Amino acid sequence: MRAYFSVFRMRLKMELQYRGAMIGGIICQMFFGIVLVALYHALYESKAQAMPIEQVSTYVWLQQAFFRMMVATDPDLNDKIKNGSISYDMGRPVNLYWFYYIRVAAQKLMGSLMRGIPMMIVAFLLPKGWGMSLPTSVSGLCSGLVALFLGLLCMCALENITMAFTMRTLDPRGMQSLLNLLMVTLSGNLLPLTLFPDSWQKVITMLPYAQLLDAPIRLYSGEYPVSDMPVVLLRQAGWAAVLILLGIWMWESNRKKMIIQGG
């Protein structure tokens, strides 16, 4: 257990080192956020929606704040797979899946906290309808946090599945960009899921990608009422379990393949 804590602490130290680059990144992402919110304001002027603009704005800011959590990946693992040395690691009787799971979790968590928290603070200070709103209720906030944690579990599981694919294919770049696109679109980052056609939303919210950030955000803002909370959290947990099991199975089959082929 202590080993896992140290992974997180080490990651935090590394993130702190690159302060200068981080500030540039925060400003850049805040700019994206402002542009998106401005766009939705202009759209709402033509045709107001059932969902108030404040909620859309909150949605956008939360997506931007935790963007890094979604996309952060482990460069070391990527390198290892590229140059083939992963096969040595796989040969050892150590549980690699969880090792890299925890590592990428540390990267996702620490990276997004460092950037997300300053962004959210600034977003709170923006005028109403342009920034982030406070949660509608305490239970909304709490369930949102729990959902965020479950979302993180799903993100790491998805990342490990992508890595499993990378291990199998000779040239993973095409596959990686496709999976990346799926994630960015269906998680609500490119366009808030709440603005998708209503018929589509019924399906999309069932998919694993909606469990990453869309679910926590909707709980936070009260879009999902408190009564829906158990269902939403259960859905997230269910997907987390499925994705983790799928990932473990894929890693295990990769491992067997590598042992037979000898790397």
Rule CB under 8 A: say whether 51 interacts with other proteins: no
Q: Give the interface segment with other proteins, choosing from 28-36, 90-98, 231-239, 247-255 (CB under 8 A).
A: 28-36
Nearest Cα neighbor of 227 from 219, 235, 217 is: 219
Q: Give the interface segment with other proteins, choosing from 54-62, 63-71, 170-178, 253-261 (CB under 8 A).
A: 170-178
Rule CB under 8 A: say whether 50 interacts with other proteins: no
Cβ at position 21, least distance to other proteins in Å: 5
Q: Give the interface segment with other proteins, choosing from 40-48, 57-65, 67-75, 229-237 (CB under 8 A).
A: 40-48
Task: Note whether 17 and 110 are within 8 A (CB).
Answer: no
Rule CB under 8 A: say whether 39 interacts with other proteins: yes
Rule CB under 8 A: say whether 199 interacts with other proteins: no
Cβ at position 13, least distance to other proteins in Å: 13
Nearer to other proteins, 143 or 194 (CB): 194
Q: Give the interface segment with other proteins, choosing from 4-12, 187-195, 219-227, 237-245 (CB under 8 A).
A: 187-195
Cβ at position 195, least distance to other proteins in Å: 6
Q: How many CA atoms lie within 13 A of 216 on its CB side?
A: 24
Q: How many residues bind other proteins (CB under 8 A)?
A: 39
Q: Given its phi and psi angles, is residue 188 left (phi above 0), alpha (psi -120 to 50 degrees) or beta?
A: left
DSSP symbols for 100-131: HHHHHHHHHHHHHHHHHHHHHHHHHHSPTTTS
End-to-end CA gap in the chain: 31
Nearest Cα neighbor of 132 from 40, 220, 32, 44 is: 220
Rule CB under 8 A: say whether 136 interacts with other proteins: no
Nearest Cα neighbor of 217 from 148, 122, 117 is: 148
Q: Give the interface segment with other proteins, choosing from 4-12, 25-33, 154-162, 245-253 (CB under 8 A).
A: 25-33
Rule CB under 8 A: say whether 201 interacts with other proteins: no
Separation CA 125–CA 108 (nearest Å): 25
Cβ at position 175, least distance to other proteins in Å: 8
Record the tokens describing residue 55, joined without a space.
Answer: 């909620």
Rule CB under 8 A: say whether 88 interacts with other proteins: no
Rule CB under 8 A: say whether 118 interacts with other proteins: no
Rule CB under 8 A: say whether 191 interacts with other proteins: yes
Cβ at position 26, least distance to other proteins in Å: 9
Give kind and range of the element (H or E) at residue 209: none
Task: Note whether 115 and 92 are within 8 A (CB).
Answer: no
Contacts of 149 (CB under 8 A, 6+ apart): none
Give kind and range of the element (H or E) at residue 187: none
Give kind and range of the element (H or E) at residue 206: none
> Residue numbers of the site for other proteins (CB under 8 A)?
18-21, 23-25, 27-28, 31-32, 34-36, 38-39, 41-47, 49, 170-171, 173-175, 177-178, 181, 184-185, 190-191, 195-197
